Each structure stands twice: as structure tokens, then as C-alpha cells.
Amino acid sequence: MSKTIPVKKNDYIDVEFEDLTHDGAGVAKVEGYPIFVPGGLPGEKAKVKVIKVNKGYGFGRLIELLQKSPFRVECPAEDAHKYGGCQLQHISYEGQLKYKENQVRQVLARIGKLADVKVHPILGMEHPWHYRNKAQVPVGEKDGKLVAGFFKPRSHEIVDTNESLLHIMEINEAIRVVKEIASELGIQPYNEEKHKGVLRHFMARYGRQTGELMVVIITRTDDIPHKNKLVEEITARLPKVRSIVHNVNSKKTNVIMGDRTEVLWGSEVIYDYIGDIKFAISARSFYQVNPEQTRVLYHKALEYAGLTGEESVIDAYCGIGTISLFLAQKAKRVSGVEIVPEAIEDAKRNAELNGITNAEFEVGEAEKVIPAWYKQGNTADVLVVDPPRKGCDEALLQTIIDMKPKKVVYVSCNPATLARDLRILEDGGYKTIEVQPVDMFPQTTHCEAVAKIVLV
């Protein structure tokens, strides 16, 4: 006989929150039945309205706080709930770091059965606001006026805004100015439902170390009305701009960028540094949005690799070569693999830009290329993985176990898949020595971590 669900839709109940979900909602339990409530914090008591009931869990709305957490703070951005970008900004930064560090410990114990692994205190930011060096905002129309900002959660309704507390100030200024100019020139915004209009997205990128700004205009149409005037006004009002790029996306799709890109003014790239390594960043380049914390993350990865100058290193999921080029400074040879061809072109260009000759890059899936390398005798003393959120492919993990590099350095953007993959490596003859969480994305639920793994 199935267990009766202890609440009904529209019930008002008093609860105490025990935990947070991976997306920052408070978790309360009624007779063991979990209810997820955005805005609730562990240790708080509240009156909640049940708004949805599923078989295994329900959702609620916070009606009244009866007992507050000492970590609760006033949200700096009153309308943040409208676009869902800052899931944790109602928690003090100290509280956010504690939550993320605990999350890493919990998943290592629960999923990886690694409760004894040393987890270091999380490395946070001194100033956890205005850190993102890139913005891409949708453009639309509301009440006859051009708007650009963020989508409301679970909708395609655009919330018009001129400032994000996560974006570097130069990025906020660029988006505000470009929106203003486009509106003055009467350039038609895109209508998603009708697939009409011109302006789809504005993008801005900024090199924090160089002060160079790129503006990207993404349109449905091949041409931009008043293009010359648009460029003239952008260059006049944004003195830091070094590149203005036009990208065409004529398809009816949610994908932001199309296949065709042309430079309207200035350079094809802007430059920035992570540590001593210089990077060329094009409109389509993948580049870390928080270089300050990326430097912290990569220095820890380099420390865990323990290179002496004699090692061969393989960097799976190498992207534009960010970790590879850090490692190449201390390694004998680095081989990087990445599925995105443009990223590999960027990696080669960045190696040349920095005079690095002991790094080579190949296009392909890590789980296919690295086993092929292994069969050809291209092995590694140290293997570095920095996979997407889904974690490492099973075939790659098996190749690592077969290849037996002395060390594996795992850079993770998802503690749950990190824990799962560490368990597989442990069962294959490796031991996890330590894990260092790093807060790359303050005010959000995302947490990165670096793990040091050795062959036993």
C-alpha cells in the first residue's frame, strides 16, 4: 500500500528548513515528505503555502518567516527573484561559503563514500560582487519600447534592467549604452513568437587586466539598419571598446549565436591575462567569466600536479588551453584534447601568443582520443580532467585506470559528478588525497573543486 502524502495543494503549514537543494531552495520535511521552498534557509522556521504536490516531493511558497537564520541578509538587488540569477544573495557571504563547503563534503560522503577525504576550507573572494567579465542579454519589446535584460525564471518574458550585481561595471555600462543607442536609432527588436525583427541579443566581454572591451550585436537579419551610425555612437560613448562584432542568427532557435560573424570595427579579439598567461578572446571563445578565481583554481591544480619539468601531461577537456598553458610552464610536454574545433584553434593561438612550444592540441572527444593515444603509446605521468557538469565519460575513466598515470588532477564544476567519478577511480586503484573547493560564482549555487588523486 502506497504511503499517503501528508499535505495537499493550497495547505498552509508551519515548517523548519533542514537543508538547501542544489539550486538554493530551502528543504523542509513533513512526516518525511520533502517540500522545496525558494528563499528558505537551514535552521529557519516559516509559514509556507503548498503550491504543488508530486508523489515523492512538493513545492511551497514562503509566506512568513517565524525564525530567521543568522546568515540571512537583505537582498542587495530587490528584483533578483525576477530573473533567478543570484539564488543565494539572501545569504551572507560567510553563509554561502559554509553551504558550498558542506555541499562538497556531503556529496563526497553520500555519493562517493569518501567521508574520510580531507576537504580544505573553501577559497572565496574578497569582493564577491561585480566579477563576471561577460554578459549576453536578450533583446525584446515591451509597451512599444526596446528592452534588454534577463528572462524571468521558467519563461521567455524579458525583465528590462541596466545593471547586474554580478557583472563587472564596464559590462553593465556597455549593455546600457548599446541598448540606449539602438533605441535612439529605432532599430527593431526581435519578436521571438513571430520570428520577426532585427536585434536578438547584446553581448559584452571585458579584459579585466587589459581594460579592453568587446561589443557583439546578434541579429536575425544579415544587415543592421543604421549600422555606421551605431558603430560611430558606440565608439564615441564607450572609450574602452576595442572590438565591435556582428553575429547573424537567422534560425528560430534558443541558441544565442549563429554561424556567421564579422568584425564591424576594430580588432577580431580582445586580450586578457590569467596569472602570467595572455589569452586572445574572440566573440565565440570560451573564456572563464571569473578570471580572478580561475587563477586561484588553476594554481591549486598546478600545485596538485606537483610538476618537476620531467613529466608528460594529458589535459582532457582542454578548452582554449587555459589549464594546459599553466601546466606547460612546469611540464616537459602537455597534450590537450577538446571536442570544439574553434576552442582548439584558440588553444594553438594562445600557445603561440605566449611562446609556449611544449603544448600540442587535438580536436575530438576525450573519451575517444585519449584511449587512441594510449594504444599508440602516448601515456601520461599526470592526467588533468576538467569535464562539463555531467562529469567524465566512463570510457575515459576506464582509460585512466588502464593507463595508470601516477597522478590525476580533477577540476570539477559539479560536486555530485566529481564524487561519482572519484568513487570509480578509487575502485580502479586510485586514492583521493585531498579536495579544495573554490567559489567561482558568488551569489549562485555553483561550486568548483579540485581533487588530488594518486595511484596506490
Which DSSP string do the residues of 102-166 spell out, in sequence order?
A: HHHHHHHHHTT--TTSEEPPPB--SS-SS-B-EEEEEEEEETTEEEEEEEPTTS--EEE-S--SS
In CATH, what number is assigned to the domain containing residue 65?
2.40.50.140
Query: CB count, 10 Å around CB of 65?
Result: 15
**Nearest alpha-carbon partner for 312 in 363, 360, 369:** 360
- Which pLDDT belongs to residue 154? 72
Q: Give tens-digit pLDDT for 124-183.
A: 999 999 999 999 999 999 888 999 998 877 778 898 888 899 999 999 999 999 999 999
In a domain, 279, yes or no: no
pLDDT tens, residue order, the chain (456 aa): 357 899 999 999 999 999 888 778 999 999 999 999 999 999 999 999 999 999 999 999 999 999 999 999 987 665 554 445 678 889 999 999 999 999 999 999 999 999 999 999 999 999 999 999 999 999 999 888 999 998 877 778 898 888 899 999 999 999 999 999 999 999 999 998 999 999 999 999 999 999 999 999 999 999 999 999 999 999 999 999 999 999 999 999 989 999 999 999 999 999 999 999 999 999 999 899 999 999 999 999 999 999 999 999 999 999 999 999 999 999 999 999 999 999 999 999 999 999 999 999 999 999 899 999 999 988 999 999 999 999 999 999 999 999 999 999 999 999 999 999 999 999 999 999 999 999 999 999 899 999 999 999
The dihedral through the CA atoms of 122, 123, 129, 133 has a sign that is: negative
284 found inside a domain: no
Q: Which distant-in-sequence residues (6+ apart) come within 8 Å of 179 by Cβ? A: 139, 146, 148, 162, 202
Domain boundary among 31, 52, 69: 69
Amino acid type, 181: I
Return the pLDDT at 1.
36
Please report the pLDDT score of residue 84 as a whole number. Answer: 53
The answer on 371 and 297 residing in a single domain is yes
Residue 76 placed within a domain: no
pLDDT for 157: 86
Q: What per-residue confidence (pLDDT) applies to 129?
A: 94
Shared domain for 268 and 295, answered yes or no, is no
The pLDDT of residue 24: 85
Give me the CATH number covering residue 313: 3.40.50.150
Burial class of 335 by CB neighbour count within 10 A (0 to 12, 13 to 18, 19+): buried
- Does residue 231 form part of some domain? yes
Which three cell numbers mark 334? 602537455
Same domain, 330 and 413: yes
Beta bridge partners of 52: 59
Q: What is the CATH number of the domain that holds 195?
A: 2.40.50.1070
Q: How far apart are CA 398 and CA 383, in angstroms?
A: 13
Domain carrying residue 35: 12-69
Q: Is the same domain home to 299 and 446? A: yes
Whether 238 and 308 map to the same domain: the answer is no
Burial 405-443 (b: 16+ CB within 10 A, else e): bebbbbbbbbbbbbbbbbbbbbeeebebeebbbbbbbbb
Domain presence at residue 321: yes
Residue-wise pLDDT tens digits, 194-236: 999 999 999 999 999 999 999 999 999 999 999 999 999 999 9
Which residues make Cβ contacts (< 8 Å) with residue 239, sequence separation at least 6?
none
Question: How does strand 158-160 pair with strand 199-207?
Answer: unpaired
Residues 319 and 215 in one domain: no
Q: Are the C-beta atoms of residues 42 and 30 closer than 8 Å to each other?
A: no
Q: Residue 384: inside a domain, yes or no? A: yes
CA-wise closest residue to 436 among 275, 296, 288, 290: 296
Same-domain check for residues 210 and 308: no
Structural domain includes residue 4 = no
Q: Give the model's pLDDT for residue 77.
A: 60
How many domains does one find in the chain? Answer: 3
The reported pLDDT for the residue numbered 2 is: 52
Query: For residues 221 and 262, what is the distance between their CA atoms, to the nearest angstrom?
Result: 13
Same domain for 114 and 239, yes or no, is no
Are 194 and 218 in a shared domain? yes
- Whole-angstrom Cα distance, residue 414 to residue 103? 10
Mark whether 182 and 259 lie in a shared domain: yes
DSSP string, 392-444: --HHHHHHHHHH--SEEEEEES-HHHHHHHHHHHHHTTEEEEEEEEE-SSTTS
Give the pLDDT of residue 292. Answer: 93
Cα–Cα distance, 439 to 442 (Å, whole number): 6
Residues marked as catalytic:
413
Which H helix or E strand runs over 281? strand 277-281
Whole-number Å distance between alpha carbons of 347 and 341: 10
Q: How far apart are CA 249 and CA 222, in angstroms?
A: 9
Beta strand pairing call for 241-248 and 158-160: unpaired
Contact 44, 16 (CB under 8 A): yes
Q: What pTM was estimated for this model as a whole?
A: 0.90
Give the span between the Cα atoms of 33 and 204, in whole angstroms: 45
Q: Are residues 371 and 297 in the same domain?
A: yes
From 274, 303, 324, the end of a domain falls on 274
Instruction: Provide the pairing of β-strand 382-385 with 312-316.
Output: parallel
Side chain identity at residue 151, one-letter code? F
Burial class (CB in 10 A: 0-12, 13-18, 19+), 155: exposed
Phi, psi of 160, rounded to the nearest 5 degrees = -70, 125
Distances (CA, A) of 206 to 17, 172, 283: 40, 11, 11
341 and 445, same domain (yes or no)? yes
Q: Is residue 377 part of a domain?
A: yes
